[in-house]
Amino acid sequence: MPTSPNKQRKERRKAASATTAHQQSESQPTYNNVPRKLDRPHIPPLCAPTQSKFVPVTVAPRNDGGRCAYWPVCDDDRKVCGGYRPELCKTFGANGTEKAPSQSELNYQRHLKTWNTKNIMSNCAWYPFCGKAVYCGGLKKIYCSVYGGDNPVKEPPSVEVLKKAKRDAKNNKRKEDRMNKK
Ligand SMILES: [Zn+2]
Ligand SMILES: [Zn+2]
């Protein structure tokens, strides 16, 4: 995977916090031990946009610190960077100092943080039409951001076409492996 040296440095710096962060569910606030302020309106996290705003405060304090909407591209606590919503993050938001990552870049970075190694290495369920699942989310067909969902970006191939393409890809790979052994 192509990673810039700059990013790699960033990744290393973040590694310590990532080990704890990734054990927690995405939908949970990560910093529950900070004092609660109840004066601000509820803002659902980016990862749970459909969440009801009537969740009892004792269960889900939403005015506290926690992951920025641009996590993990922005690694600051949202109390620090303001990232309660994407546009509010003072690094990547509307008046941010850095260019905001695209949604697909953000998804990719999140997969890297939250998926296990096997999943990170996996092909998309639409492979060979699509590439690695870590980019498109396609661990299952419906999750692929290109061929999956109700409104796919690209027309998904039929089951038969996909099957044949998978078979061909496998055969080609076998052929290649044999060539490389010689
Ligand atoms: Zn931020
Ligand atoms: Zn895909």
Domain that holds residue 124: 103-181
At 165, the amino acid letter reads A
Nearest bound ligand to the CA of residue 111: 2
Tokens of 123: 């092909």
Same-domain status, 89 and 138: no
* CA–CA separation, 26 and 21 (whole Å): 9
Dist. CA 119 → ligand 1 center (Å): 27
Dist. CA 73 → ligand 1 center (Å): 8
How much is the pTM? 0.61
Same-domain status, 64 and 117: no
Report the range of poorest mean pLDDT among 38-42, 113-117, 121-125.
Answer: 38-42
Total domains present in the chain: 2
Same-domain status, 79 and 145: no
| pLDDT beyond 50 at 137 | yes
Does residue 171 fall inside a structural domain? Answer: yes
> 55: pLDDT confidence band, cut at 50, 70 and 90?
very low
**Predicted local distance difference test score (pLDDT) of residue 182:** 75
Does residue 54 fall inside a structural domain? Answer: yes
Does residue 169 fall inside a structural domain? Answer: yes
Same-domain status, 171 and 117: yes
- Considering 38, 68, 101, which residue would you say is the last residue of a domain? 101
> 140: pLDDT confidence band, cut at 50, 70 and 90?
very high
> 99: pLDDT confidence band, cut at 50, 70 and 90?
very high
Contacts of 60 (CB under 8 A, 6+ apart): 29, 51
Report the range of poorest mean pLDDT among 28-42, 95-109, 115-129, 153-167.
Answer: 28-42
* CA–CA separation, 122 and 118 (whole Å): 6
Nearest bound ligand to the CA of residue 148: 2
Same-domain status, 107 and 96: no
**Predicted local distance difference test score (pLDDT) of residue 19:** 43
Dist. CA 67 → ligand 1 center (Å): 8
Taking Cα atoms as reference points, which of 53, 50, 85 lies closest to residue 71? 85
Dist. CA 136 → ligand 2 center (Å): 5
Tokens of 84: 């309660």
Same-domain status, 93 and 123: no
Dist. CA 129 → ligand 2 center (Å): 8
